[in-house]
């Protein structure tokens, strides 16, 4: 099993301008108890970044 998280190279998770989800384990969103908060642009960018890394890793594993 291979785990591909959201690396610290993703600058969005280092933002101090607003509360955002995201950790080295993967992209997340802080939605609130009733789901009242939608993902921010920073959180969506983190999800795209992680998705790109997963696709690249899968391609490399497939070649080998």
> How far apart, in whole angstroms, are the C-alpha atoms of residue 34 and residue 50?
26
Contact 15/3 with Cβ under 8 angstroms? Answer: no
pLDDT tens-digit map of 37-60: 999 999 999 999 999 999 999 999
| Domain assignment of residue 52, given as a range | 11-63
Residue 6: inside a domain: no
Residue 3: inside a domain: no
pLDDT tens-digit map of 4-42: 998 888 888 777 888 788 888 899 898 888 989 999 999
> How far apart, in whole angstroms, are the C-alpha atoms of residue 18 and residue 32?
15
Residue 2: inside a domain: no
């Amino acid at each position: 099993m291979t785990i591909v998280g959201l690396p610290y190279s993703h600058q969005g998770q280092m933002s101090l301008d607003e509360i955002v989800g995201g950790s080295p384990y993967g992209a997340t969103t802080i939605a609130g108890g009733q789901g009242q908060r939608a993902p921010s642009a920073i959180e969506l960018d983190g999800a795209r970044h992680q998705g790109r890394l997963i696709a690249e890793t899968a391609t490399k594993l497939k070649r080998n």
